[in-house]
Amino acid sequence: MVPNQQHPVPCTTGRETPALIKIYQALYRAFGPRHWWPAETPLEVIVGAILTQNTAWKNVEKAITNLKSAGLLELPQLNQLPLRKLATIIKPAGYYNIKAKRLRALTEWLENSGGLEKLTAIPTPELRAQLLQIHGVGPETADSILLYAFNRPVFVVDAYTRRIFSRYGLISGDEPYEQLKNWLEQELTPLTGKSISQAVALFNEYHALLVHLGKTHCRPQPICPGCPLESD
């Protein structure tokens, strides 16, 4: 993965600090940098993005370990591996039959596009549109890939994002995906200065922090005991 070099603290000169930034700052103070996405290469990010669909990350790690130790976490090898074998190898991640097909759809796209390097030249809206065409790639998976594999400034909306922001009254929680994504990007982008890489760094860290809060405090039923956001 590409590290986020710039410390993603937005400039909040003028006016009152927006709630979205106060939440971000509270999370960053409480948890520190999350160093997302936990992967060594963009391809590993992409594979992980499919494998983690509605699945605990712990199980994804086992599948990725299997792929690595078999030397299959490279584009040509992964794309040529028979679907039956691929499904067997990623079994711990669950839904292994559909996920094998989804991985294949992605690696075929990568091969037909001339590899990850060529795709770097494509503008974000077009790249996002191409990703959404791929079978098994929905909005959240596409945006995870755009942000964490291609370093594009998109906000990844997931269940934790909805749960946490709605619990604090910022949203109702049942808004359409695109609406939430656009709102978050429009609210946060003006606070990130002019550089795109700063927006990338903020979106990267913010999503990672939301997931960490969600996993540790913000499950569906129980209410957050000792939630870091309560003391602000």
Q: Which residues bind DNA (CB under 7 A)?
A: 36-38, 48-49, 52-59, 62, 91-92, 94-99, 135-142, 144, 148, 158-160, 176, 211, 214-215, 219-221
Nearer to DNA, 22 or 91 (CB): 91
Q: Closest approach of Cβ 19 to DNA, in Å?
A: 23
The SS3 assignment for 70 reads coil
Judge contact between 73 and 64, C-beta under 8 A. yes
Q: In angstroms, rounded to a whole number, what is the distance separating the alpha carbons of residues 204 and 57? A: 17
Q: CB 16 → DNA: shortest distance, Å?
A: 31
Name every residue whose Cβ is closer than 8 Å to that of residue 57 and which is 6 or more positions away in sequence. Answer: none
For the bound state, the minimum distance from the C-beta of residue 96 to DNA, rounded and expressed in Å, comes to: 5
CA gap 232, 226 in Å, rounded:
12
| Shortest spacing between CB 53 and DNA, in angstroms | 3
Please tell me the total number of residues recorded for the chain in this structure: 232
Between 28 and 37, whose beta carbon lies closer to DNA?
37
Q: Are 208 and 162 in contact (CB under 8 A)?
A: no
Please identify, using beta-carbon distances, which residue of 10 and 48 lies nearer to DNA: 48
Question: Is there a contact between 20 and 170 (Cβ–Cβ < 8 Å)?
Answer: yes
Q: Which is nearer to DNA, 84 or 215 (CB)?
A: 215
From the CB of 11, what's the least distance to DNA, in Å? 27
The residue (of 72 and 208) whose beta carbon lies closer to DNA is: 208
| Non-local CB neighbours of 52 within 8 Å, separated by 6+ positions | 60, 93
The alpha carbons of the chain give a radius of gyration, in whole angstroms, of 18
